[in-house]
A and B are shown apart, each in its own frame.
Chain A
Amino acid sequence: MSTMDWILVAVQGLVVVGFIALGVRSGGIGLGLWGGVGTLILVFVFGLDPGEPPFSAMLIIIAVVSAAAAMQAAGGVDYMVVVASKALRAKPKALNFVAPYVSYLLTILTGTSNTFFSIIPVINEVAYANKIRPERPLASSTVANALGITSSPVAAATATLLPLVEIYHYDLIDVLLITIPASLVGIFVMSLLMSTRGKDLDDDPEYQRRLAAGEIQPPAPSEEITLLPYAKRSVAIFLVGVLTICVFGFFEGIRPTVAAEGGGVEPMSVTPLIQMIMLTAAALILVLAHVSASDIPGTPIFKSGMVAMIALFGIAWMADTFIANNEDAIVQALGSLAENWPFMIAVAIFLVAGLTTSQSAATRTMVPLGLALGIGAGYMIAMWTAVVGVLLLPANGTQIAAAEADETGTTTLGKRVVDHSFQLPLQICWVVTALVGIGIVWLFFGGHTPAPPTTTAPTTP
């Protein structure tokens, strides 16, 4: 690439960053609208091919929000708040630890971070009802959820990694033996540091402003919540829906099959399953929990969910337009960084994931490079967890949805693009996870690849 090409890529990158900044300053659907303007400029001014809007994530948000909003209309969210508050009565702050691990587990079981959309409103409501700054569990859970991809045997990124390391005798079990314990420690340290992050709600100026302006109601003590008659039933339906997704996600063999090459069949992807199951759960809540369909669009979960969807539409479309046209340049630049300074490989993985917003792309491009640079396969697996860097920029659906769900205003997408609520937990989590992973490899896997043979004498003619 010529210097002019690099300058052009840099200018396009600045346009993307600029419109994200404009979007986060506007807030709400402003993020999506400015993202749309950015896409327009990239296409008309710079002549880029338009990227792909995030159809799957948007449809999942619609389905999951429909189910969660139906549950809220049935009083199910209140019921969950009461139950969780009772369970957390002795230690409400335990939510800061429990929520990230639950989010992490959901991703492991389904292989996609999209299931997290279903528990965002629940985490938010439980936190608020217990006067916990929602940013703490929401931001940690969003990061833990993304990290779960590297611990999931059914995730696409894991499938991309395995053929790269199997030559060094690392199979799926070995990978999980490294990534799961490392992630568990990483999440714990992140949750611990995040449990005291920011001011308590009573001292938070933005929350107090919203409260004084009547934009948000003060949290009702759980004892004062009046439960609707079918609240429990709606929760049961919702949870069975989530559980069903987990079962289908984890056991590929029981999924319906779809047409494959040569007339054969293969298991259906988990994405449409989430959509079908969540829409069905919403319909069942309508019928069995006696909810009027007209009540659903009026719920706070529905409103914030739809705002998140529009925000994601514009911003992710703009990001994809930039990335689809410049991925090679990004990978080449960061690849050169790692080639010149191999100790930067983990940072390069993190940045490639962040700038391409793709864990699979970061895996496919950076892991082979690290191996070629002579870094042991076990260590590369440990550092591969850095693909959680997809949350570096606030262009991810789960980040946008979490920020939108939090009506207290504590969870934000930042003002300068990188100063969002997820940045600190992200930095803590990826560094600790990678370091612990390296320690595990060093202790239990003997560091590098299996030792080369000591003799080179021919054994047979």
Chain B
Amino acid sequence: MRRGVLTWVLAGAGVILLLVVTAAIGGRDKSDETVPAGEWAQSVCGAAGVWRGEIEAIVEDLRTPAAFGDPGAEPQSETPQSRRGFIRAGLQVAVQATHTLVQGVDNAGAPDTPNGQQAAKQISDWASSSKDDLEQAQDSLDNEADTLEEAIKQVTSAAGAIGTTLASGVRTFTAVAASDPALGAALRDSSTCQQLRKKEAKV
């Protein structure tokens, strides 16, 4: 076999090996299972933490203007129209991030505590409704405003939707922890939940 062909064969074998290894290490869909509360808390807080990180990045993007020296950007190009585009892009990313959150929460299954099923549903409902709210906010930008005041309201409420989902998330987690002491302890002890609380405390 020619040397060049052999190298390609090796590269192809490498890709197959990588797929096999990835199949062996990852992907745990426990959406229909009951799992230990600690494991559930770990997964759900992990998904919420990743989502929060993405939302933080969106907010940072919205806050930061195009500065001098920013690659490919000109400060004078930030017109009201592009700012609306900016918010739209932020919402698009937020919807995508929340879709991923819904998936992460659903994959975590339900905790094996007395109110486990209900708690899992509560968190899942919050994630799903957050996604719907953000999608709605995104759609609202498509409507042409009749007045300046209406346009401003449209833009601010669209941006505000991101903050609302964050706040409702904190409330939901607190409610879930309070409704089931065993689950509350799991949410307190889990390392990802601790990390999530640390991040919340920083803001």
Contact = CB atoms under 8 A, between A and B. Distances in A.
A99 B57 CA distance: 36
Interface residues of A, number: 69
> Which of B14, B25, B68 has the most A CB atoms < 10 Å from its CB?
B25
Interface of A: 52, 54-56, 160, 163-164, 166-169, 193, 196-198, 258-261, 266, 268-269, 271-273, 328, 331, 339, 342-347, 364-365, 368-377, 379, 383, 424, 427-428, 431-432, 434-435, 438, 442, 447, 449-450, 452-459, 461
A96 B36 CA distance: 53
22 contacts: A55-B72, A56-B71, A167-B50, A169-B195, A193-B7, A258-B67, A269-B67, A345-B22, A345-B26, A346-B19, A365-B96, A369-B103, A373-B27, A424-B8, A427-B15, A432-B14, A438-B21, A452-B36, A455-B38, A458-B181, A458-B184, A461-B181
Contacts of B54: 163-164, 364, 368
Contacts, number: 204
Contact of A452 (B11, B38, B49, B183): B38
Given A364-B93, A428-B11, A347 B19 contact: yes
A258 B69 contact: yes
A379 B45 CA distance: 18
B22 A428 contact: no
B26 A342 contact: yes
Contacts of A377: 46
B75 to A, nearest CB: 8
> Which of A339, A371, A376, A454 has the most B CB atoms < 10 Å from its CB?
A371
A447 to B, nearest CB: 7
Nearest to A327: B92
Contacts of B103: 339, 369, 372-373
A272 B7 contact: no
Chain B interface size band reads: 35 or more
A258 B68 CA distance: 6
B163 interface: no
Given A167-B53, A424-B8, A431-B18, A368 B189 contact: no
Nearest to B95: A328
B19 to A, nearest CB: 5
B25 A164 contact: no
A457 B181 CA distance: 8
B101 A372 contact: yes
Contacts of A373: 26-29, 103-104, 107
Sorted nearest first, the 9 A-B pairs with minimum C-beta distance are A167-B49, A342-B27, A163-B53, A375-B26, A372-B104, A343-B23, A374-B28, A431-B14, A458-B185
A331 B27 CA distance: 19
Contacts of A427: 11, 14-15
Q: Which secondary structure characterizes the binding site on chain A?
A: helix
Given A343-B22, A452-B190, A259 B67 contact: yes
Interface string B155-186: 00000000000000000000000000111111
Contact of B26 (A166, A343, A452, A458): A343
Contacts of A379: 22, 25-26
A40 B19 CA distance: 39
B179 to A, nearest CB: 13
B64 interface: yes
B182 A458 contact: yes
B152 interface: no
Contacts of B182: 456-458
B123 interface: no
A346 B22 contact: yes
Given A364-B57, A435-B14, A459 B189 contact: yes
Interface in B61-85: 63-65, 67-72
B27 A374 contact: yes
B128 interface: no
B194 to A, nearest CB: 9
Contact of B64 (A261, A331, A447, A461): A261
Interface string B19-46: 1111101111110000011110111011
B4 A198 contact: yes
Contacts of B118: none
A377 B69 CA distance: 33
B185 A456 contact: yes
Given A167-B53, A167-B192, A339-B103, 13 more contacts: A167-B50, A271-B72, A344-B22, A347-B15, A372-B50, A373-B28, A374-B27, A376-B26, A377-B46, A427-B14, A452-B42, A456-B38, A458-B184
B47 interface: yes
Contacts of A455: 38, 189
B25 A438 contact: yes
Contacts of A258: 67-70
Nearest to B107: A374
B113 A456 contact: yes
Nearest to B187: A456
B10 to A, nearest CB: 7
